[in-house]
């Protein structure tokens, strides 16, 4: 017993000595930016007692192994196709080295944080703490300020540089919120309601020929309904199961609440068989389920109505994630200033043993406003989901090649690295190579819708599955086309597309029309969910990460879109063409053909 007490005392002394070492260790800059992005103006120093929720990312030394698993289980030509990993397996491959865990624990202990103060992710690769600004500034050797964005009226608490003790640099990948100035937003471009100037023109009668050679109601050129989408994408008559284990999910952020009364009214109009059914609500990071009619969210209503309406009776889930509230400088309470919310959603979903197999998100940000380190870590989380057999779709954006970031006066787009160089602005997370980015189309025959986000990532290199398709597009461009405005070696956006204009939804008790790639993502996800349904019924695993299948065996199941373009940044943008293009990707789904291909894969 005396020997045990001696060693315990010695261990405590060593821990205290190392904690003192961290506290006195010289800091070295970990990350910095030239200045706030265009539109943000530094104002007063942040209040010392303002609470920040710091997220600390520890390195993932085995991520390359997880990525290799992802490529193998997602490649229809590989012998391991469909052999998805378990939660425990992906956790192990994302876990930090114990040396990093110990080093960060000791550093946090030196600032008074006990184990019970730390919130750890399932893989232990993220640590979350709540601290006042004064302590964050001490820990990170920085100064936080309030920054104001004139166009939106938002204020946030951020800094342009932060430091860590030099001995911790190899044990910490990043700390946020620090240098991230993103304006995370829903991707809807236009909204008009019945009784006001509608997007739709006068109704049409008769039929027209759809991309699969089938008949489509001519009215679908004016108003998109559930029936239209099933006709256009050749899924009339396919019935999904409510009991085979297949599930679909939608994400909601920024106070976007899916209103059940609106959903019921939508079902009455467009899918009476679904009337009386609902979705599973899941709160993430304090997300709430406000069912007052005035709180209904356009994005949330659109997503749930069309995705759940198309896939009924497949069980649906709506994730409500709290995050990214604007800082209110004059508020008396010490409200927290949160991170961009993908990391919170990923923390939650990756901790669950059972995750819906097809998930759509109609939200995004300008890639350049999300620090590279943070974008990479979030993207890695999507890779883990893909390895577990989850298909993740993201809207590609609503600003064409500019993704909505053009200067209001000149319509030109600029880098935010201090050089103010004119450049196209890709969107994130659509630029992540482990998700399926969905662009937009309009009308039958389909053409690219003018706002369809597309282009090339400046963060992520072109993945192998895109090699032939994307290079073929680049080879068709006239020499010098937009030279210097985009990265020809980057991951191409989007991968696929779907209808994105004139969607008839119910919002706050009224019918109205909405447009945006926020329409196309849940639409494409619905047909992916139907493919999963067919594979499960056939005794096969779900599709998981889609892109290797879509760019190979699934290619003939997509309708190539060859007309239209996506203007932005003072240019006409890229043109749709034969094969993959940076406007509509590989094209839109032909469900019956895709089903045959998916069952044969």
Any idea which residues carry the catalytic annotation? 299, 303, 518
Q: How wide is the angle at C-alpha 186 spanned by C-alphas 417 and 464, nearest 5°?
A: 65
CA distances in angstroms from 96 to 16, 31, 99, 121, 173, listed in the order given: 23, 20, 8, 11, 11
Token readout for 594 is 């895709």
**Cα–Cα dist 328/339, whole Å:** 15
Of all residues in the chain, what percent are helix, strand and coil, respectively (each to 5)?
30, 25, 45
User: Is there a contact between 490 and 471 (Cβ–Cβ < 8 Å)?
Assistant: no
Q: Please, how many CA atoms are within 13 Å of residue 504, restricted to the half-sphere of its CB? A: 22
- Alpha-carbon dihedral 250, 256, 261, 266, rounded to 10 degrees: -60
Contacts of 377 (CB under 8 A, 6+ apart): 57, 173, 174, 343
Q: What is the largest CA-CA distance in the chain?
A: 92
Around Cβ 567, how many Cβ atoms within 10 Å?
A: 17
State the Cα–Cα distance between residues 83 and 27, nearest whole angstrom.
Answer: 45
Q: How far is CA 223 from CA 112, 199, 387, 443, 514, in A?
A: 60, 9, 38, 9, 10
How far is 418 from 413, CA to CA, in rounded Å?
13
Two tokens, residue 288: 């709430």
Q: Would residue 245 be called left, alpha or beta, if left means φ above 0 and alpha means ψ between -120 and 50 degrees? A: left
Cβ count within 10 A of residue 489: 12
Whole-angstrom CA distances from 486 to 422, 455, 459, 470, 492 are 10, 7, 12, 14, 11
Token pair for 538: 């056939």
C-alpha to C-alpha distance for 155 and 299, rounded to whole angstroms:
23
Residue appearing with tokens 């994130």: 428
Work out whether strand 358-361 and strand 248-252 pair parallel, antiparallel, or are unpaired.
parallel
Angle 63-74/87-94 helices, nearest 10 degrees? 140
Rounded Cα–Cα distance for residues 449 and 563 (Å)? 9
């Amino acid at each position: 017993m005396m020997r045990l007490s001696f060693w315990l005392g010695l261990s405590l002394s060593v821990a205290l000595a190392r904690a003192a070492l961290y506290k006195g260790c010289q800091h070295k800059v970990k990350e910095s930016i030239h200045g706030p992005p265009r539109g943000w103006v530094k104002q007063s120093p942040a209040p010392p007692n303002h609470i920040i929720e710091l997220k600390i990312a520890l390195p993932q030394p085995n991520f390359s192994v997880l990525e290799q698993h992802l490529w193998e289980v997602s490649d229809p030509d590989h012998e391991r196709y469909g052999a998805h990993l378990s939660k425990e397996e992906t956790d192990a491959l994302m876990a930090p080295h114990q040396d990093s865990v110990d080093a960060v624990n000791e550093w946090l202990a030196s600032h008074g944080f006990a184990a019970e103060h730390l919130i750890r992710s399932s893989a232990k690769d993220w640590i979350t703490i709540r601290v006042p600004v004064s302590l964050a500034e001490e820990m990170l050797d920085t100064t936080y300020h309030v920054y104001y964005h004139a166009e939106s009226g938002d204020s946030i608490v951020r800094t342009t540089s932060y430091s860590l003790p030099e001995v911790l640099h190899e044990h910490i990948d990043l700390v946020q919120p620090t240098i991230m100035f993103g304006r995370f937003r829903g991707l809807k471009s236009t909204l008009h309601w019945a009784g006001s100037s509608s997007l739709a023109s006068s109704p049409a009668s008769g039929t027209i020929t759809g991309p699969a050679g089938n008949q489509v109601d001519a009215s679908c050129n004016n108003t998109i309904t559930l029936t239209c989408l099933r006709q256009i994408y050749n899924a009339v008559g396919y019935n999904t199961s409510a009991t085979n284990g297949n599930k679909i999910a939608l994400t909601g952020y920024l106070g976007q609440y899916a209103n059940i009364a609106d959903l019921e009214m939508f079902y009455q109009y467009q899918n009476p068989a679904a009337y009386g059914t609902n979705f599973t609500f899941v709160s993430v990071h304090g997300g709430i389920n406000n069912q007052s009619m005035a709180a209904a969210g356009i994005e949330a209503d659109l997503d749930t109505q069309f995705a759940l309406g198309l896939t009924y009776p497949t069980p649906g889930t709506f994730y409500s994630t709290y995050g990214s509230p604007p800082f209110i400088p004059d508020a008396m309470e010490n409200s927290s200033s949160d991170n961009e919310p993908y990391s919170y959603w990923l923390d939650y979903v990756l901790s669950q043993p059972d995750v819906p197999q097809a998930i759509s998100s109609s939200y995004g940000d300008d890639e350049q406003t999300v620090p590279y380190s943070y974008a990479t870590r979030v993207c890695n989380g999507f890779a883990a989901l893909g390895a577990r057999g989850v298909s993740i779709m993201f809207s590609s954006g609503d600003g064409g090649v500019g993704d909505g970031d053009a200067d209001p006066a000149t319509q030109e787009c600029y880098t935010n690295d201090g050089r103010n160089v004119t450049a196209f602005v890709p969107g994130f997370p659509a630029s992540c190579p482990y998700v399926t980015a969905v662009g937009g189309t309009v009308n039958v025959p389909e053409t690219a819708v003018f706002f369809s986000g597309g282009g090339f990532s400046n963060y992520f290199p072109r993945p192998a599955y895109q090699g032939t398709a994307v290079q073929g597009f680049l080879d068709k461009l006239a020499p010098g086309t937009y030279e210097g405005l985009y990265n020809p070696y980057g991951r191409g956006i989007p991968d696929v597309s779907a209808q994105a204009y004139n969607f008839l939804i119910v919002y706050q008790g009224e019918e109205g029309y909405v447009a945006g790639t926020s329409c196309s993502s849940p639409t494409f996800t619905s047909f992916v969910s139907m493919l999963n349904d067919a594979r499960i019924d056939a005794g096969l695993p779900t599709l998981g990460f889609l892109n290797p299948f879509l760019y190979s065996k699934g290619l003939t199941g997509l309708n190539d879109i060859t007309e239209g373009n996506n203007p932005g940044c003072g240019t006409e943008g890229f043109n749709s063409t034969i094969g993959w293009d940076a406007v509509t990707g590989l094209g839109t789904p032909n469900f019956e053909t895709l089903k045959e291909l998916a069952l044969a894969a």
